[in-house]
Structure 1
Amino acid sequence: MTSVSEEPAWRQRAVERSTRAAKLRAEQRVQRFLDSAQELIAEKGTTDFTVQEVVDRSKQSLRSFYQHFDGKHELLLALFEDALSKSAAKIRQAAAAESDPLERLRVAVEMLYRSSLPNPDVQQPLFSDFALQLLVKHPAEVATANLPLLAVFTELVEQAVEAGAIPAGRPRRRAALVMQTVMFAAFVAQAGGAAEGHAAPVTAEEVWRFCLGGISAPPPESGEQP
């Protein structure tokens, strides 16, 4: 039985070229919106800007904006995810410079804590006002945005386990608990440490020692496998 002939190769190539070109143009338009939003954030020191300001600065149309984003919230989410992805890459690179697996984990914890703290020299409104709003209103999106960081910390926990530096356990869960501890400590510091009642601020080393105590403890006898 004769099979149905496939589409001519020249037609497939033409469609592929067209698709690639359209994808590239879309990516360029999206990047112009992101760059414009980032410039506005740097100038204002806040995420308090309008979609129209972004559109005007990007020299594109409002129609084009809504072809790529549902609104300002989605634009900010894209910036937030991009920032976390870059942070994960920096932490991975810094940790890789250490030969000892436990030292790698220490570097990652302390770096995450410091980068999550308010810095007078580096305005981080995406990690202050918008990040907190996002956490309350869209926790699933926060979890997705944190996946690159979670992957880095999971790998570092696994390496420490393989080296015998910490007991075996569920690496992904333990990595998530470490990240949550570090980020909440930074959040409290941003709030002025009101929950602590201490004059001296918590240091990155203190946060690491606390996390180390947690992951160094033997896992509960629950029968769960890593």
Structure 2
Amino acid sequence: MTAVPEEPAWRQRAVERSTRAAKLRAEQRVQRFLDSAQELIAEKGTTDFTVQEVVDRSKQSLRSFYQHFDGKHELLLALFEDALSTSAAEIREAASGMSDPLESLRLAVDMLYRQSHPSPGVQRPLFSDFALQLLVKHPAQVATAHIPLLTLFTELIEQAAEAGAIPAGRPRRQASLVMQTIMFAAQAHGVPADSHSHPVTAEEIWQFCLGGISGVPATAGRSAAG
């Protein structure tokens, strides 16, 4: 059997260099589309813009847009995923400077609550009109986008449990419930439950979540009662 000659090292280097350059150009094009879409959201206060507007603002072609995105929904998913990833990184950095695991968790709850308020003027909206639309139409992709935050909250709950600050439980499940509570409450911020109440505060969200994490599970309570 004739041996296949090994590809020369110079050829491998040339191909790798060419591939890196093409990848960098593609990343730059994608970022220009994302930046343009984010600018339009900030200006309009909504996601009611067209793909053509994004293309025109980015000074790129429609063909280039569809080489990188299937459509507007995928562009919005990319923005949403990027916002959640950035949020997780910011919260992780802030929480890492605290020595008390429970205070780290409290800080994380407060930061996510404040970051999740719908605000058209904010450059990284986490929970706005398009987030709700994506949740309904693309739940699997939205769930994937939340993984960095879910991982972070799971770790913080585990650390608090290991320190004895809260009972050991199902940290990932608890993290999911805490995040859903925070983000839904943030979406309803400014809308009181009734005409005699005030908008929910970050402190109330923290106390509610802490009570849920620290409370005795319902199954345990029924078992003891029996």
Per the normalisation by structure 2, the TM-score is 0.89
Two-structure CA RMSD over aligned residues (Å): 2.1
Q: Is the CA contact (8 Å cut-off) linking 1:81 and 1:146 kept in structure 2?
A: yes
Q: Distance in 2 between matches of 1:72 and 1:171?
A: 35
Find the partner of 2:215 among 214, 217, 224: 217
Distance verdict in 2 for CA 1:163–1:183, change over 3 Å: same
Q: Which amino acid aligns with 2:198?
A: A
Find the partner of 1:203 among 193, 201, 208: 201
May I ask how many residue pairs the two structures share in their alignment? 219
Q: Is the CA contact (8 Å cut-off) linking 1:154 and 1:172 kept in structure 2?
A: yes
Q: CA deviation at 1:124?
A: 6.4
Q: Is the CA contact (8 Å cut-off) linking 1:84 and 1:149 kept in structure 2?
A: yes
Q: Is the CA contact (8 Å cut-off) linking 1:166 and 1:216 kept in structure 2?
A: yes
Q: CA deviation at 1:3?
A: 5.3
Corresponding position: 1:37 with 2:37: yes
Q: Which amino acid aligns with 1:37?
A: A
Q: Is the CA contact (8 Å cut-off) linking 1:47 and 1:126 kept in structure 2?
A: no
Q: CA deviation at 1:184?
A: 1.8
Q: How does 1:159-170 map to 2 (within 5 A)?
A: 159-170=159-170
| Residue in 2 that maps onto 1:100 | 100
Distance verdict in 2 for CA 1:86–1:124, change over 3 Å: closer
Deviations 1:156-210 (A, max 9, x none): 01110111111112221111111111112223336x235x565211111111111
Distance verdict in 2 for CA 1:26–1:133, change over 3 Å: same
| Residue in 1 that maps onto 2:192 | 193
Q: Distance in 2 between matches of 1:123 and 1:9?
A: 46
Q: Distance in 2 between matches of 1:193 and 1:7?
A: 69
| Residue in 1 that maps onto 2:223 | none
Q: Distance in 2 between matches of 1:90 and 1:141?
A: 22
**Segment drifting more, 61-70 vs 150-159:** 150-159
- Deviating beyond 6 angstroms after TM superposition, the runs of 4 or more aligned structure 1 residues are none
Q: Which amino acid aligns with 1:193?
A: P
Q: Is the CA contact (8 Å cut-off) linking 2:38 and 2:123 kept in structure 1?
A: no
| Residue in 2 that maps onto 1:7 | 7
Q: CA deviation at 1:45?
A: 1.5
| Residue in 2 that maps onto 1:224 | none
| Residue in 1 that maps onto 2:70 | 70
| Residue in 2 that maps onto 1:142 | 142
Q: CA deviation at 1:143?
A: 0.6
Specify every segment of 5 or more residues in structure 1 that has no aligned partner in the other structure, as ranges: 222-226
| Residue in 2 that maps onto 1:79 | 79
